[in-house]
Every structure is written in structure tokens, then in C-alpha cells.
Amino acid sequence: MPGYVSTLQEDSYSGHRAKPYTSGTQTRLYRMSTGDDFDLDDFIGSGMAVGDDVFPAGTGARAGYVVDVKLSQLSSNTVTEVITYNDGSAWEDTWSSTNAQSVEPTAAGYVNTDIRATQASATWWRYADRSEYADGGVYPWDTADVPDTFQCNLEQLTSHVCDIAGVPMTTPVAQEELVVTTNWESNSAATTYRGRWSGVRHTRNDDDWMGFPKGTLLFTGASTRSAGVDAMPVSDLRFVYDPYGWCRQRAVAAAGGVFSDEYLTGVVSPVPSASACDEEDEAPQQLHAKYVYWVQLFQAMGDFDTLLTTSQKTLLSTMIT
């Protein structure tokens, strides 16, 4: 029975420095071995198909998987076939969460990130730059339980008061939101890490991580979506950065939150009155909360390195630090 005879007309090859795969195209001419005429519809199904293995003739170790096929009727007895292939299209074999790369969103191992500025509101009884809260080189957000020594230091910062008779000032705190997107080669691979994410949720980084100082980055959780049983799952891990390490201030008051004289102290006003311009007048006194201390909103600290594979973490580090 006569069959089709193919002739390689054009062969192109492309290597990608930024991508962990190679690709290429081939153009072949098909004719009947007898030289008879035939239609394009007769040929369909006789050449290459998407997903087929490709071992180009004369190209050595090159191999790949067909990702696109284009057929055209060149003449009454010739059909042209143009195939595009690469060796990364079968991601379940060549790419995985342990072989991360950032340039192919449809492949397992894809990692991307979204960092955006945001803010939250905080109430302050005593305000100072973060550097002034250091105690022997350690900040209150470096620990799980804020020690008493920090409360003593904070109480002494009377030049930075910003409450009036126990009523604090509300100001914005600059924050950053970080979303890390990862693709997985299978649902089971994502499931392994979903358990880890659940265990570390609502913890702060127990060490410097991706340029964020210890205790300042909060892991708020992760979500995973998949289009079907055999589809590639995609996960989003969410973090929020707070320069004060999720520490917030509280003031000690009497029952019912009343600030009586026992809980107030007189402090020289940081904003002079008109009479203060007279050298003979003493600087005015204002009443402020007497006892103010740190509260750690999220005491637990976790190892964020366990949230990603080694390859994902390495790639993420090059993207954001």
C-alpha cells in the first residue's frame, strides 16, 4: 500500500538562556510514494500531532514535544507541514516545583511575585522612630513575648508623647503586601505544602527572610486553585510587612477605660503655647497616659523557608531582593 514520503525542508532551533528548555520548528513536504495527487483532508492524521515526541533527523540529542501543527496544500500532490516543538511542554516530566523557573506561566515550577504598598492605622500614646525602641540591639518584635524592659524604655520616651489625657493619636503605618504565585506539577505536590502553610499561618518570620527583618513579616495564609483533576494547581501565598513587627501600644487605665490622675502624668508640652514665647513663663504642662506598653498581636514565629521548595525560594530571592 503506497504511503507518504516526507522531505525535511527547513529546520530551526532556539536555545533560551532565561528558560530551562529549548525549542524549534520544522517544515516538511509530504508526497505520495507513487507521486499521485491527494487532498489535505486525506493527509490529516498522517503527520505529527500535538503532544507527539519529536526526534529531529540529524540534530543529535535534540528532542521535544509538538506544541503546534500547521498544514497547508502546496500543490495537487504536496502538503506542507510546519511543526513547533519544545522540550518543556510536557511539564509533568521536565518541570516541577523543585525545578522552578519564572518565565513560563503555563509550566510547573513557575514562580512570580506581586509587591504592593499599603497602610494600616495604629494608635500611639508614645511615638518614636523604630531605631529608638532597640534594647541592646534587640527590638520588641524580635521576640514572641515583649519583655518588661521594653515597657520601661517606652515609658521614658516622654519627649514623643502624642496623647492628650490618655486619648491616643491615630496615624497610618506604612505596610507592604507580598503575594507569591507558584505552579505545581500535580495536586499531590501542592497538597504536601498546603499542610505546611496551614501550620505556619498567622506567624511572623523567625529570621530575616527575603530582605524583611526578623519578626516584621506576617504570613496570612495561602490559596490553591486547580481547573480539574489532571490540571496544574496554582497557589498564592500572602504576606504582609509591618515595620513595627505587629507590635501595638496599650495604655493602662482605670476600670471602664477611665484615665484618672493615678494613670496620668504631667509632661512638658511638645507644642508650646503662645505664652511659652515669653521667657518669663514656664513651658506648659500637659497630662498624658502614665503607663504605656507594647502588645504583640501575633506572638508565634515560624520558619518561612518551609513554605517553598528550595528552588522556588532561590528564584524568589533573585526577584525581590
pLDDT of the residue at 277: 53
CA of 318: how far to CAs of 90, 111, 224, 238, 321, in Å? 26, 11, 24, 18, 6
Cell triple for residue 70?
Answer: 500547521
pLDDT tens for each residue of the chain, 321 residues long: 468 999 999 988 877 554 556 788 899 999 999 989 999 998 998 988 887 877 655 555 667 778 889 999 999 999 999 998 877 654 445 677 888 877 777 778 889 999 999 999 999 998 888 888 888 888 999 988 888 888 888 777 666 788 888 999 998 999 999 999 999 888 888 888 998 999 999 999 999 999 999 999 999 999 999 866 667 889 999 999 999 999 999 999 988 888 888 899 887 655 555 555 555 555 667 888 988 889 999 999 999 999 999 999 999 999 987
pLDDT of the residue at 155: 76
How many Å apart are CA 11 and CA 261, to the nearest integer? 89
Burial of 63 (0-12, 13-18, 19+ CB in 10 A): middle
Cell triple for residue 43?
Answer: 493527509
8 A C-beta contact, residue 90 and residue 137 = no
8 A C-beta contact, residue 176 and residue 161 = no
How many Å apart are CA 321 and CA 319, to the nearest integer? 6
Angle, vertex CA 243, rays to CA 151 and CA 176, nearest 5? 150
Residues 6 or more apart whose Cβ sits within 8 Å of residue 82: 25, 26, 27, 69, 70, 71, 72
Q: So where are the chain's domains?
A: 4-89, 111-320
Cell triple for residue 292?
Answer: 504605656
Tell the residue number behind the cell numbers 518543556, with chain if given: 88
Under DSSP, is residue 105 helix (H, G, I), strand (E, B) or coil?
Answer: coil
Q: What are phi and psi of 136, to 5 degrees?
A: 65, 30
Q: What are phi and psi of 270, to 5 degrees?
A: -75, -15
Eight-state DSSP code of residue 282: P
The CB density around residue 154, as the number of other CB atoms within 10 Å, is 21
Cell triple for residue 92?
Answer: 509533568
pLDDT of the residue at 90: 46
Residues 6 or more apart whose Cβ sits within 8 Å of residue 296: 140, 141, 143, 144, 145, 146, 245, 246, 247
How many Å apart are CA 244 and CA 3, to the nearest integer? 75
pTM above the 0.85 mark?
no
How many Å apart are CA 213 and CA 205, to the nearest integer? 8
Under DSSP, is residue 131 helix (H, G, I), strand (E, B) or coil?
Answer: helix
Under DSSP, is residue 141 helix (H, G, I), strand (E, B) or coil?
Answer: helix
